[in-house]
């Protein structure tokens, strides 16, 4: 019986020590207005790069070890491969990306949004697309928020 009481007391002491350590642990700070502005700035740089047909500019909005998960295409891993992917895109005449929700803390943010895009065709009407995106962003040492994981897909039916 004494052995059992000792085990219970040791367990209780360990539990209390764990609770004390947790009480003193500070949660990461939430995102600031500056973080939100920097997240939006990255979107605007991305849009400007796509509209300019500048794949290097677009890729610079991604972390070196980013992962892009585009629709109808295998996963693209790393900034260099992401640049190659965007270099293969046709010219885009219009692109609007709207952030709907941002959450996160510390150096990680989760971004949900919508996009509309127009791609001129050599013949016929331009191709229009609209859809949604979900991103995981990482804050860099300079305060910018780069795409770390990026997934988007169209709302349009596949023809």
Tokens (6 digits) for 131 = 């859809």
Neighbour count for residue 95 (Cβ, 10 Å): 17
20 domain-assigned = no
Q: What is the DSSP letter of 29?
A: P
21 domain-assigned = no
> 17 or 39: which carries more pLDDT confidence?
39
CATH code, 133: 3.10.450.50
141 domain-assigned = yes
When divided into structural domains, the chain yields a total of 1
109 domain-assigned = yes
114 domain-assigned = yes
Beta-strand runs (E) in the chain? 62-69, 76-77, 94-105, 108-119, 127-139, 145-154
C-beta of residue 99 within 8 angstroms of C-beta of residue 42: no
Per-residue confidence band for 158, with pLDDT thresholds at 50, 70 and 90? confident
pTM value is 0.81
Per-residue confidence band for 157, with pLDDT thresholds at 50, 70 and 90? confident
Domain of residue 93: give its range.
31-154
Q: What pLDDT digit, counting tens, does each position of 97-144 carry?
A: 999 999 999 999 999 999 999 999 989 899 999 999 999 999 999 999
Percent above pLDDT 90 for the chain: 77
Q: What pLDDT digit, counting tens, does each position of 9-18 carry?
A: 344 333 344 4
């Amino acid at each position: 019986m004494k052995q059992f009481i000792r085990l219970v007391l040791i367990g209780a002491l360990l539990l209390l020590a764990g609770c004390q350590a947790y009480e003193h642990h500070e949660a990461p700070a939430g995102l600031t207005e500056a973080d939100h502005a920097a997240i939006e700035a990255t979107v605007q740089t991305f849009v400007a790069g796509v509209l300019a047909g500048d794949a290097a500019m677009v890729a610079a909005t991604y972390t070196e070890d980013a992962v892009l998960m585009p629709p109808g295409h295998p996963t693209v891993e790393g900034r260099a491969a992401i640049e190659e992917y965007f270099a293969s895109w046709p010219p885009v005449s219009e692109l609007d990306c709207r952030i709907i929700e941002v959450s996160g803390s510390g150096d990680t943010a989760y971004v949900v949004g919508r996009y509309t895009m127009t791609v001129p065709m050599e013949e016929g009407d331009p191709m229009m697309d609209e859809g949604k995106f979900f991103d995981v962003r990482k804050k860099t040492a300079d305060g910018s928020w780069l795409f770390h994981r990026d997934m988007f897909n169209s709302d349009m039916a596949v023809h």
